[in-house]
Structure 1
Amino acid sequence: MVGHVLLLLASMLPAPQANLSVMTWNVCTGTNSDCRLYRASAVELAEHIGRQALSRRAGVIFLQEFCTGATGTLELWLERRTGQRWTIGSWGLTGQDGTPYACHPDLLGRPRGAQSIAVAVAGDAATFEIHPLPAPPWYVKRAAICADLPARKVRACGTHLSSGSAYDDRQAGAPYRTKQLERLLEISVKPGYRSVVGGDLNVSPPDSGYGGAAGRRAVAPFYRLYQECDQRGGRRTGGWTRQGKKLDYLFAPKGSVRRCHVERGVTLSDHKPAHIEVTL
């Protein structure tokens, strides 16, 4: 009788909440000689990325300035270390003529494929979509990768937007980043799914007081729909992720963010890895 009572009471308790951890990191390995991961081998990249992701038990990883040639090595490293299946969706940047935007070879001269964005997913069977984004016709094309995790009803979208440099959306009003963010917001939503969206957006937070005003305005709609990982109360800002400014973001459903962490001790890239833990 006591056992039946305990079972009845247990059935009345709320089900334990499931959590998901996500990391975003611009690893700066492709073409920037100022970064320590520049010309790193596929094995070295897998080791550094994998260790950083698993330090916070990431189940989804957004990468920018990665290399397509290291995708399989990272997938295998993650599977061996976790004992889980991992799947990685990857997209290599191209010029407007379709030529791959190549990563420089590793230090032994071995090719590493094209500079890329990637979304890695642990465990769950995932489907991936590549969504082209508006980009300056004189420079590289841009895209976002969205991974759908049906078992968790999660949609995870990662991207790397135009840099705002002289050759990549420097015009007044940041027209291409504005269009890129509009499109990213559209594709991030899927009925019946909870979304986590982010990456290196190359704009400053709306209430930060630094960076271009057009970029700050362009990212503001995300704060209306989502909660940003490092958002400070009602202020739409957060801790820096690159050289004193916040350029890297992780957005999740409002009220779902349990933890946020920017790993400022990592000096392998000019960007810091950012981690979010959300309640599903």
Structure 2
Amino acid sequence: MRRLICHLAALCAALFTVVALPTTEAHAADASPLPGGHRFALRSEANGLFVSAEINDPGTQAAKLRARTAGGPEVLGSWEKFTLHSDDKGVTAALRSEANGLYVTTEVNYTGGHAGLLRARGTAIGDWQKFHLEKQPNGNYALKSKANGLYVTAEINDSGTDQAMLRARGTTSPGSWERFTLVDLDAALGGVSRPAPASPATAEDFRVMSWNVCANVNETCGNHRVGGDVLGDRIVARLGGAAADYDALFLQEICEKHTGAIEAKLEAATKTGWHVRFAPIQYAVDGSLLKAARSCAKTGTENAWTVDRGAYGIGLAVPDASTWSKAYELASPPNQTVGTTVTRIEQRAALCATIPARALQFCTAHFSSGLATDDATGKYRKDQANQLRDIVHAETPAGYRTVFGGDFNVVPPDSTAPDGPKEALADLYAADRECDEGLWADRPSDGRVTKPVDGRAIKIDYIFAPATAQIVSCEVPADAGSSDHYPVFAHLRLPSA
């Protein structure tokens, strides 16, 4: 709920700061402060200061970028924090300000001493918001604007409120004015540890749903390009009249800006508070050692897809008693180059959240696709399964009881389907109990199909609970709705501990 309040506050701020947009770049403001990946700060090599988005500057200077903040990462505020995004699979990167949720834009139409000025005011990614990252011999980066082909420069010799402003105007090999350190703030500052679980843990009886909602990749899905209100209504509808009985929803293939609306729809349906956490799927950015969140396809109207939906990834809806969450980058195949052809591979994610008062943890993930160009052998999906197992059993403090699942893009060990590798999830089945486990005596590590494909169907969606859990019921209705996956519903009972 607090996330939704922040979202609305940033939207109101955007309405007052986004002005005089060129016709070709103007879109309805839909700022989002939601985390779309690692947060970065840019520090100018020229003066050693961090870049700030000047949110309070007026008019055509609103949210311009200046290298002017002293100190270390621990003193930085939202004005100095950015996330990286890409709508071209990592060829370029866009920077989004945490302060107002808008993308850094090269003002190509400005003239004179402000030509190529950088401002955080773009509501969607276009060429004006794209930058090529070029790693320099000293480890810093130069940013070349795709809009005008020029390097971003910190104007160290300018004075007053223009001092050290950023402009895309450098034409020669980058010098110190054109070089920046991209500081990964999540790595530099570290994360908050999981809070201690309540002890002793009481017996729990609850319900979980996992559903790949297919809201971005597959154009044949009814959820493709939908906005958050529509998707939220459809998710609540899948829960039927029992929405208030659910304690967690594992959602794959959603967009970052869906989360606020899904949260609001759940709260309206259940009359209680929810948080919808989000973790992006990423791409490696060309010319760098960095990753950027994959952008969702825009929504809007037919042939006028102009409304940004933020990053693409996975969501985890939990009660607002949840006080901690963490996103994980899963080991994924690197980009592949054959001759002059580059195949760009999605970098997958997992996401966990805890409810300490109930000693509960929920985690979801979306593994590599298994296509010919994306982990065809299954090596990475097995590694991803083992990484998720370690998150659940080795990293999580004793006392927590973890329920996890999602779209793992691999069939179970006892599946009769020809798809492989069937051993990828063997360790998960050995350590925990899957919702449909034991349904058939001769194939205990199998379950009902969840994904229609090529005239047949396979099981690739899962809900796992601790081995001590009782599976009261596991339901997989053979109805994908507006998706291309069937949802999985689990009614679980955990003993006291």
| TM-score, L = length of structure 1 | 0.89
Instruction: Quote the residue 1:268 is aligned against.
Output: 482
Going from structure 1 to structure 2, the CA distance change for 1:54 and 1:194 (only over 3 Å counts) comes to farther
Going from structure 1 to structure 2, the CA distance change for 1:91 and 1:54 (only over 3 Å counts) comes to farther
Deviations 1:87-126 (Å, cap 9, x if unpaired)? Answer: 1110122211133312112243322112110111024233
**Greater relative contact order (Cα 8 A, min sep 6): structure 1 or 2?**
1
Is 1:181 the counterpart of 2:181 in the alignment? Answer: no
Q: 1:270: Cα distance to partner?
A: 0.7
Instruction: Quote the residue 1:259 is aligned against.
Output: 473
Is 1:278 the counterpart of 2:475 in the alignment? Answer: no
1:113-262 equivalence runs, <5 A: 113-138=310-335, 139-170=345-376, 172=377, 174-189=378-393, 190=396, 191-214=398-421, 216-231=422-437, 232=439, 234=441, 235-243=444-452, 244-254=457-467, 255-262=469-476
Instruction: Quote the residue 2:155 is aligned against.
Output: none
1:99 is aligned, of 287, 292, 295, to 292
Identity of aligned residues (%): 34
Going from structure 1 to structure 2, the CA distance change for 1:55 and 1:250 (only over 3 Å counts) comes to farther
Give 3-state SS (helix, strand or coil) of 2:282's partner: coil
Letter in 2 for 1:27: V
Letter in 2 for 1:120: A
Instruction: Quote the residue 1:79 is aligned against.
Output: 267
Q: Which runs of 5+ in 1 are unaligned?
A: 1-15
Give the aligned length: 262
Letter in 1 for 2:325: F
Is residue 29–residue 38 contact of structure 1 (8 Å, CA) maintained in 2? yes
Instruction: Quote the residue 2:48 is aligned against.
Output: none
CA RMSD in angstroms, aligned pairs only: 1.7
CA distance in 1, matches of 2:420, 2:224: 32
Going from structure 1 to structure 2, the CA distance change for 1:185 and 1:55 (only over 3 Å counts) comes to farther
CA distance in 1, matches of 2:418, 2:309: 33
Structure with the higher strand share, 1 or 2: 2
Deviations 1:117-169 (Å, cap 9, x if unpaired)? Answer: 01110242331011211001111211110111111111111000001012211
Q: Which runs of 5+ in 2 are unaligned?
A: 1-201, 286-290, 336-344
Instruction: Quote the residue 2:133 is aligned against.
Output: none
Give 3-state SS (helix, strand or coil) of 2:293's partner: coil
Going from structure 1 to structure 2, the CA distance change for 1:144 and 1:19 (only over 3 Å counts) comes to same
Instruction: Quote the residue 1:88 is aligned against.
Output: 276
CA distance in 2, matches of 1:102, 1:265: 28
More moved, 122-131 vs 199-208: 122-131
